[in-house]
Amino acid sequence: MISANTLLRKSSIPLIVAVFVGLYGLFFTGYDRPGFAADAVPTEKAEKEAEPVEAKQATAPETKEVDNQTCLGCHNADILNMSKEDLADQVNVGDKPIPPRVKPPYIFGELNLSIDEKKFGDSIHKDLMCVNCHKDIPDVPHNQRLAPVDCRECHEDAVDSIQASGHGKNAGPKAPPCIGCHNVHYGKPQSTYDSEFKAKVCINCHTAYGMNISTQHKGLNQTSMHMKIGCLSCHQGDKPGVHNIPAVKLKMVSCENCHSKFSVLSKTKPTPTNLMAYILRTNFINADLLKTYSYVVGANRIPILDLIVILVVLGTFALPVIHGGLRILTKKKGFHRGSDEKIYLHPLFERIWHWFQALCIIMLIITGVMIHWPESFNGRFNWAVNVHNWFGWAAVISWVLWFLYVLISGRIKHYIPKKGDIPGGMIKQAKFYGYGIFKHEPHPYAPTEDNKFNPLQKIAYLKFQLLLMPLLLISGIIYMYPETFGGFIKAIGGLWVLALIHYILGALFAAFLVAHLYLATTGETIGENFKAMIFGYGVKEEHGDHK
């Protein structure tokens, strides 16, 4: 027999349960769960909540083994039309619903509760079970909040790479998750994904994270054109692929990756060839870039044209070497025909302009060489482009001021050939340079204040200063802003035509500079003309018929 005390102890357990249930009904019946709207019919809700605990347990969904079809049974297009209350009924909410996770600023692809079975069947993950990734789903209904999927379990190398890249630890709190770039449920094979990864993905993501693309690339020339070639063309790590993009602050992008004869933009690998076969090529190197990206400075060149340009420029050094050498050999010791009287040849403005333009031309030639052969000046391409553009604009301003000055002051007359200068005066001056100078004959055209240039100088300055210089500067401005002048560039045959024109004009000025510097030494003394251009005064020569 059971004693009275034992019976009392056993009967007290259901009594306590009954009291607890009563108190629960007294205090909690009629209140909604936080975050959800009230039921449409309060009386029905009250009746439902008033059901015995045993009845609720009987109507709760039974747990079952989870496979992909089980998941797709809920996670289909119908789930998008469910109310919050219905959605809550599909999962184990617990004491109260948990607020949704904050989504990252940018997500590539689709990310919602609906899974397209066909798209999933075509994805790289099609042979996986949902629970292979969502490991905290032992059965259904599952908990409302699932643990984040750890991609490292399958993609350890990829996760390690991106953690070490500019998008990992270096990015700090703005580091994007895998779903920022990967359409996780409908992922593609790596080869397909690489081809689909466009610059737009990078731009959209950076914009979503509050990073202004224009500001980030403010030091880049022709930004909009660079944006068309794809971010990975410039932002390459030591290993290929998006997971290895370096942090720009830690490893600066090398412009020579694209702008050199070893351009990564070229899909056609150059075939090995000897030096002679290379320099005799009459077509562009990296010719495939012309079709894909148009002309790429530094990467597209014609070797035979480069050879001709080099020979022409080097050929002008024959003047100081051969002609100058003969002058030294035929020089008469102590011979000097000039007088002590000075004449004012070069006003202050002309002198300042002359030396400033000389500086511009020299810097344009130096930086132009660096831009055309960038692999010979590793890491200096971007600097050379910026400096070239700066001195280009300086040369434009200098030329405009000079033209206005000589036009308004009337000193343009010094550049206009007089009667008899063409061709007679030119021939006479050429004979003097050819042999008269070695015999110490008097200069046929001694400079005066009203007519300071000989016929050959006039023709040379007219050609270079009033014709070729404007063409060089205009072609440079168009070259600098190809999108602005796109219509004109297309009309002349493309950017490569403009590039060749600008290149050839620049080479002519390089040759002219060498010849000009040497011929400036052909005065009565080697330094006479240089002193005149510095101080303004030259020696009045008592010979010649320069009128």
Average pLDDT, integer, range 379-403: 95
Give the pLDDT confidence score for residue 102 in this predicted structure.
82
**pLDDT band per the 50, 70, 90 thresholds, residue 214:** confident
**pLDDT band per the 50, 70, 90 thresholds, residue 542:** low
Give the pLDDT confidence score for residue 105 in this predicted structure.
87
* Contact criterion met (CB below 8 Å) for 536 and 347: yes
Domain boundary, last residue among 190, 222, 254: 222
Average pLDDT, integer, range 86-97: 83
Calculate the alpha carbon distances from 409 to 142, 343, 353, 402, 405 in Å.
91, 19, 15, 10, 6
Higher pLDDT, 188 or 509: 509
Give the pLDDT confidence score for residue 196 in this predicted structure.
61
Domain shared by 377 and 517, yes or no: yes
* Angle of the 495-519 helix axis to the 348-372 helix axis, nearest 10: 130
Whether the pLDDT of residue 241 is over 50: the answer is yes
Whether the pLDDT of residue 516 is over 90: the answer is yes
Average pLDDT, integer, range 285-314: 93
Q: What is the CATH number of the domain that holds 501?
A: 1.20.950.20
**pLDDT band per the 50, 70, 90 thresholds, residue 334:** low
Range scoring the smallest mean pLDDT among 32-46, 370-384, 495-509: 32-46
Q: Is the peptide bond before 99 cis (omega within 30 degrees of 0)?
A: no
Asked, for residue 193, whether it belongs to a domain, the answer is: yes
Domain shared by 111 and 133, yes or no: yes
Q: What is the pLDDT of residues 154-198, one digit of tens each?
A: 889 888 988 888 888 878 877 888 888 888 888 877 666 666 666
Domain shared by 37 and 101, yes or no: no
Determine whether 20 is exposed, middle or buried from the number of CB atoms within 10 Å of its CB (0-12, 13-18, 19+).
Answer: exposed
* Contact criterion met (CB below 8 Å) for 518 and 323: yes
Domain containing 470 equals 348-539
Beta-sheet pairing, 537-539 with 342-344? antiparallel
Give the pLDDT confidence score for residue 494 in this predicted structure.
93
To the question of pTM greater than 0.85 for the whole model, the response is no
Domain shared by 384 and 516, yes or no: yes
**pLDDT band per the 50, 70, 90 thresholds, residue 487:** very high
Domain boundary, last residue among 16, 38, 59: 59
Domain boundary, last residue among 222, 243, 271: 222
Asked, for residue 291, whether it belongs to a domain, the answer is: no
Domain shared by 33 and 97, yes or no: no
Q: How far apart are CA 215 and CA 66, in angstroms?
A: 50
Number of independent structural domains in the chain: 3
Average pLDDT, integer, range 232-236: 77
Asked, for residue 139, whether it belongs to a domain, the answer is: yes
Domain shared by 370 and 515, yes or no: yes
Asked, for residue 245, whether it belongs to a domain, the answer is: no
Asked, for residue 287, whether it belongs to a domain, the answer is: no
Domain shared by 504 and 369, yes or no: yes
Asked, for residue 290, whether it belongs to a domain, the answer is: no
* Contact criterion met (CB below 8 Å) for 281 and 261: no
Asked, for residue 176, whether it belongs to a domain, the answer is: yes
Domain shared by 526 and 378, yes or no: yes
Domain shared by 21 and 80, yes or no: no
- As a whole-number percent, the residues of the chain with pLDDT over 90 amount to 37
For 140, phi then psi, to 5°, come to -120, 150
